[in-house]
C-alpha cells in the first residue's frame, strides 16, 4: 500500500488509511477533508458495509431529512451508507453530486463500484491474475500492474483526441463510464459487465412545451438550488472562479446571495490571456472579496513534463497548462472553488453549435454543393479570420456524421487516415453514428455527443487532474442532477437563436451581471500554443519526436510526423501546433509508463 500512499497523496493530503476487511478486500483512501473534518474519516464501516468515496454528495443533508436517516457523523460518506441500507442501489437516483464510490456489502460478498452522472470523478479498474484492482488514477494501476499498451487506443487518440468509453491506453485497464456501475464478486474475484444507472439521452428525446419566460424562471430557480448546495456543503471556505464570461459570473452572483463576503478569483496570465478588467467590473457589481491571481509561464519548461504526466494517459487539451497554474495559485487561498463548467455543453455555448441549429445546414442541395466545393478550397493559414469560418462551414456540410462531428470538435489527424498502419478503436465512431441517427434535432445531436465524449473524456478529466494535483476541489453547479435533467429538453431556440449562443443563459445574465456583459463572446483559456510549440517547447518536442523508441511509429507513418515537425504539411499553424502538442504528450506518457 505504500505505492498508493505515495501516488495518491495529492488527492488526499489530510489522511491516508488502509483497512483489510476480508482476505480478498483491501480498501485504501486518501482524504481531502472538507465535510465533517473530525468525523468523516475513511474507509468508513459498520457491521454490514464498508465504503471509500471520492467526491461530494451536495444534497446529503436533504436526503437524511427526506428518508429519516440518523447517523453518528455529519459526513456525506455516512449518508451514502445509510441510504444504501434503506434503498440499495436506488439511492443513486436521489443523489446530487460528483462521486466515485466503492461500497463493500459484507453480507452479499460484493463490492459495488459507482460513478456519477457526468463523470466528474474518475474510476478505473483492472482484472489481474492475483485480484481485481481499482482506483482514481491510471498512474497508480499502471505502477502496480505494469500492463502493455493498447495500440488501437493510441490510434484512436491520434485520430480523435481522446480514448473514448471503457477502454484506456492500457490493455486490461478499464474506465468505469459516467453514470455506470459494476459489481465485484469478492469470493470468485470476478467483475460484472458495466450497467448504466443514468443516461442523459431520454432528456434530449423530449422537448418541453414551455414559454421563454417560464424557462427563464425555472433555470434561475434550479441553478440557485445547485449553487446553494455547493456553497453550504463544506466546512471550509468556498470561493468562486470569476472570468469575464457569463457562466462564472452567474455562479458568483448566486453564491453571493448565500455568502455575501464571497471570495472570487480571476486569473491573469503575464502578457497573454487577461479577462481581469471585465471580471473586476463584475466583482465590483456583486461586491465580492475579489483577488487577481498572477500566473506566469516562466517555469513552463521545468514544469511541463510534471503537468502532462499527471494524467496517466496521453492527453491532448493544451489548456491543461493554464489549468495547472490556476489551481496551484487558487489553492494558496481556498480548498473548494465554484466554477462554471458544463454551462456550454448543456445550454449551447459553443460557436460550432450555430450551423447545427439551422435546417439549411442539413439541406440535401446545400450538402451536395458543399461536397463539390470542399476539395477545391485551399486550407486556411489562420484560425482567426472569416475565410477560416467559411472554409470550415463548407467542409462540415460536405462530411458524413462521424467526420462532421470530429471536424467540428477535436479535429486531429482524422484527415490523414491513410497514414495510420492499424485500425483505431471503433466504439466512439459507433456512438456518434448512433447519436446522429436519433430522431432529435441537429443541435441536440452534437450537444448530446459532446456531453458523452468531450465533456467527460477531455474537459472533466482535465479539471479533476489539474485541480487535484494541487489538492483543490472544483464544484460545478451546472452539472447538478436537476440541471442535467432539465436543460437538454429546452427548445432549440432557447439554446441557440440565430447567431446567438447560450441564449437563455444570456437572458439570465441580465438579472445578475453589469449591463452589456450578456453580449460578451465566449472565451476559454487562450493558450499561446503556437508560440509554445515553435519556441518554448521546441527543444523537448524535437528530442521526444526524434527518439528511436517513439510509440507513434507503431501506429502512424513517421514521415508525416517529420513533415509536421518541419512545417511541410499544408494546414493552419494552430492545428499543426495542437497535433504536435498531442504527439509530445503521447511520447512523454510513453516514456513514463516504461519506467
Is 46 marked within a binding site?
Answer: no
pTM above 0.95, yes or no: no
Where are the alpha helices (H) located in 177-243, listed in sequence order?
Answer: 201-204, 212-232
Integer CA distances (angstroms), 552 to 429, 480, 562, 567, 585, in order: 21, 39, 12, 18, 11
CATH homologous superfamily of 201-347+452-519 equals: HUPs (3.40.50.620)
SS (H, E, C) 69-80: CCCCCCCHHHHH
Nearest to 312 by CA among 133, 170, 125: 170
Domains 2-196 and 201-347+452-519 share a fold: no
Instruction: Please tell me whether residue 334 adopts helix, strand or coil conformation.
Output: coil
Q: What local confidence, expressed as pLDDT, does residue 518 receive?
A: 80
Q: What local confidence, expressed as pLDDT, does residue 227 receive?
A: 98
Is 267 marked within a binding site?
Answer: yes
What is the topology classification, in CATH, of domain 2-196?
3.60.20
Instruction: Please tell me whether residue 439 adopts helix, strand or coil conformation.
Output: coil
Digitized pLDDT (tens) for each residue of the chain, 595 residues in all = 677 777 788 888 888 888 999 888 999 998 888 887 788 898 999 999 999 999 999 999 999 999 999 999 999 999 999 999 999 999 999 999 999 999 999 999 999 999 999 999 999 999 998 899 999 999 999 999 999 999 999 999 999 999 999 999 999 999 999 999 999 999 999 999 999 999 999 999 999 999 999 999 999 999 999 999 999 999 999 999 988 789 999 999 999 999 999 999 988 777 666 778 888 999 999 999 999 888 777 888 889 999 999 999 999 999 898 889 889 989 999 999 999 999 999 999 999 999 898 876 665 555 555 555 656 566 666 665 666 666 666 666 667 788 889 888 887 888 898 999 998 988 999 999 999 999 999 999 999 999 999 999 999 999 999 999 999 999 999 999 999 999 999 999 999 999 999 999 999 999 999 988 887 776 655 678 888 899 889 999 999 999 989 999 999 999 999 999 999 998 888 899 999 999 999 999 999 998 8
Q: Copy the grid coordinates of residue 469.
A: 494535483
Rounded to whole angstroms, the Cα distance separating 339 from 462 reads 14
Rounded to whole angstroms, the Cα distance separating 345 from 138 reads 26
Q: What local confidence, expressed as pLDDT, does residue 172 receive?
A: 95
Please state the domain extents for the chain: 2-196, 201-347+452-519, 528-595
Q: What local confidence, expressed as pLDDT, does residue 523 receive?
A: 62
Amino acid at each position: 500500500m505504500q505505492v498508493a500512499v505515495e501516488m495518491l497523496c495529492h488527492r488526499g493530503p489530510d489522511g491516508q488509511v488502509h483497512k483489510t476487511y476480508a482476505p480478498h478486500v483491501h480498501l485504501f483512501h486518501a482524504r481531502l477533508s472538507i465535510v465533517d473534518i473530525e468525523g468523516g474519516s475513511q474507509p468508513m464501516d459498520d457491521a454490514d458495509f464498508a465504503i471509500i468515496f471520492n467526491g461530494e454528495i451536495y444534497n446529503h443533508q436533504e436526503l437524511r431529512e427526506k428518508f429519516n436517516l440518523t447517523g453518528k457523523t455529519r459526513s456525506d460518506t455516512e449518508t451514502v451508507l445509510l441510504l444504501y441500507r434503506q434503498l440499495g442501489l436506488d439511492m443513486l437516483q436521489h443523489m446530487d453530486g460528483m462521486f466515485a464510490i466503492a461500497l463493500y456489502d459484507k453480507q452479499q460478498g460484493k463490492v459495488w463500484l459507482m460513478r456519477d452522472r457526468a463523470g466528474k470523478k474518475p474510476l478505473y479498474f483492472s482484472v489481474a491474475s492475483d485480484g481485481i484492482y481499482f482506483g482514481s488514477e491510471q498512474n497508480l494501476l499502471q505502477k502496480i500492474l505494469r500492463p502493455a499498451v493498447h495500440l488501437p487506443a493510441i490510434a484512436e487518440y491520434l485520430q480523435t483526441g481522446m480514448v473514448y468509453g471503457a477502454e484506456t491506453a492500457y490493455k486490461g485497464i478499464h474506465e468505469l463510464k459516467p453514470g455506470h456501475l459494476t459489481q465485484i464478486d469478492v469470493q470468485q474475484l470476478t467483475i460484472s459487465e458495466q450497467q448504466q444507472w443514468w443516461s442523459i439521452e431520454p432528456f434530449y428525446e423530449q422537448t418541453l412545451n414551455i414559454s421563454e419566460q417560464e424557462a427563464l424562471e425555472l433555470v434561475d430557480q434550479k441553478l440557485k438550488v445547485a449553487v446553494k448546495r455547493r456553497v453550504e456543503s463544506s466546512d471550509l471556505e468556498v470561493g468562486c472562479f470569476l472570468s469575464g464570461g457569463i457562466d462564472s459570473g452567474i455562479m458568483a452572483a448566486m453564491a453571493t446571495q448565500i455568502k455575501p463576503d464571497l471570495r472570487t478569483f480571476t486569473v491573469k496570465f503575464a502578457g497573454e490571456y487577461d479577462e481581469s478588467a471585465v471580471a473586476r467590473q463584475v466583482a465590483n457589481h456583486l461586491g465580492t472579496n475579489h483577488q487577481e491571481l498572477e500566473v506566469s509561464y516562466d517555469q513552463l519548461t521545468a514544469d511541463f513534463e510534471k503537468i502532462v504526466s499527471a494524467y496517466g494517459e496521453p492527453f491532448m487539451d493544451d489548456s491543461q497548462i493554464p489549468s495547472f497554474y490556476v489551481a496551484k495559485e487558487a489553492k494558496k487561498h481556498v480548498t473548494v472553488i465554484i466554477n462554471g463548467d458544463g454551462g456550454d455543453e448543456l445550454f449551447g455555448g459553443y460557436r460550432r453549435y450555430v450551423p447545427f441549429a439551422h435546417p439549411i445546414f442539413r439541406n440535401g442541395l446545400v450538402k451536395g454543393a458543399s461536397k463539390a466545393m470542399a476539395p477545391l478550397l485551399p486550407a486556411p493559414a489562420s484560425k482567426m479570420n472569416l475565410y477560416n469560418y467559411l472554409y470550415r462551414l463548407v467542409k462540415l456540410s460536405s462530411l458524413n456524421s462521424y467526420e462532421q462531428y470530429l471536424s467540428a470538435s477535436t479535429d486531429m489527424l482524422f484527415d490523414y487516415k491513410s497514414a495510420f498502419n492499424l485500425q483505431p478503436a471503433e466504439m466512439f465512431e459507433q456512438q456518434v453514428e448512433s447519436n446522429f441517427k436519433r430522431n432529435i434535432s441537429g443541435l441536440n445531436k452534437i450537444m448530446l455527443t459532446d456531453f458523452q465524449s468531450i465533456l467527460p473524456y477531455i474537459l472533466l478529466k482535465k479539471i479533476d487532474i489539474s485541480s487535484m494535483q494541487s489538492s483543490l476541489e472544483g464544484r460545478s453547479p451546472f452539472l447538478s442532477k436537476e440541471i442535467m435533467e432539465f436543460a437538454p429538453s429546452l427548445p432549440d431556440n432557447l439554446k441557440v437563436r440565430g447567431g446567438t449562443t447560450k441564449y437563455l443563459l444570456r437572458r439570465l445574465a441580465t438579472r445578475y451581471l453589469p449591463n452589456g456583459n450578456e453580449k460578451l463572446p465566449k472565451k476559454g483559456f487562450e493558450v499561446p500554443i503556437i508560440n509554445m510549440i515553435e519556441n518554448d517547447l521546441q527543444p523537448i518536442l524535437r528530442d521526444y519526436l526524434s527518439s528511436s523508441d517513439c510509440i507513434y511509429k507503431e501506429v502512424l507513418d513517421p514521415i508525416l510526423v517529420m513533415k509536421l515537425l518541419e512545417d511541410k504539411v499544408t494546414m493552419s499553424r494552430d492545428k499543426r501546433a495542437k497535433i504536435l502538442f498531442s504527439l509530445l504528450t503521447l511520447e512523454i506518457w510513453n516514456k513514463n509508463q516504461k519506467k
